[in-house]
Amino acid sequence: MSGVVSSVGKVIGTFTGSTQQAEAGKKAADVQSGMAQAGMTEERRQFDKLIELMSPYVTAGKGAMEQQQAILGLQGAEAQKAAYAGIQQSPEFLAMQQQGENALLQQASATGGLRGGNIQGALAQFRPGLLNQLVQQRYTNLGGITSLGQASAAGQAGAGMQSAGAIANLLAQQGAAQAGGIMAKGGLQKNVFGDLMSIAGAYTGSQKGTFGTSQTGQKTFQ
């Protein structure tokens, strides 16, 4: 019985335009939902690409910060010792040490003080002073990379919040579209029921007055 009613409803809905209207609403809802899904996919793709591009800077910044912490002794005495030893054994330190000591020896030789105590004291102070200078320089250089990594990390966080907001809006649009499709389907059933009632009412009204009374008092069908 329900199948017959459904079939009749479809026929009436097609005849009155209710079915076409509901199907158009559902198709529009599907298109809107699909576009929202495509927007979310593109938003995630762009965010992943941004993370990929900025990750090297974030990684470099993290490594630079760890080296700064080691220089300051924040990672323990052994890490600080290793950081200073690395600078002291670097090609830069060794080259500057050789050049500086040669310059001191040449100056002492030119002034006849090569065997004096002054040149020995100057040589003894030169290496620690050079090491301290290069440590300060290394820390400053690392600070630039740390700042770059911090800015990149902040950029990733900002992009993440922006992307999350955009996806939330698209999800809301998708939900509204899907809800609209459900309402369109419900509207079809309501409209078809209304059409059935209207047709039934029109038919009932057409039957009123078709029975009359003859002069003899008998009811006749007119």
Question: How many residues are recorded in the chain?
Answer: 222
Per-residue pLDDT of 16-45, as tens digits, reads 455 666 677 677 777 777 777 887 887 888
Domain edges within the chain: 19-191
Q: What is the DSSP letter of 212?
A: E
pLDDT of 77: 94
pLDDT of 183: 62
* Helices marked H in the chain: 2-16, 18-72, 77-88, 91-111, 117-207
Other Cβ atoms less than 10 A from the Cβ of 118: the count is 11
CA atoms of 179 and 158, how far apart (whole Å)? 32
> pLDDT of the chain along its 222 residues, tens only?
444 445 544 544 444 455 666 677 677 777 777 777 887 887 888 888 888 888 998 999 999 999 999 999 999 999 999 999 999 999 999 999 999 988 888 887 776 665 666 778 888 888 999 999 999 999 999 999 999 998 988 888 888 888 888 878 877 777 777 777 666 665 555 555 455 555 555 555 555 544 444 455 544 444
Q: Which residues contact 8 (CB under 8 A, 6 or more apart)?
A: 196
pLDDT of 186: 54
pLDDT of 44: 86
The vertex-184 CA angle with 200 and 40, nearest 5°, equals: 175
pLDDT of 221: 44
CA atoms of 18 and 199, how far apart (whole Å)? 14
CA atoms of 130 and 120, how far apart (whole Å)? 16
Q: What is the DSSP letter of 112?
A: T
Q: Which residue has the tokens 């052994």?
A: 78
CA atoms of 100 and 106, how far apart (whole Å)? 10
Asked if 19 contacts 188 with a C-beta cutoff of 8 angstroms, the reply is yes
Residue type, 9: G
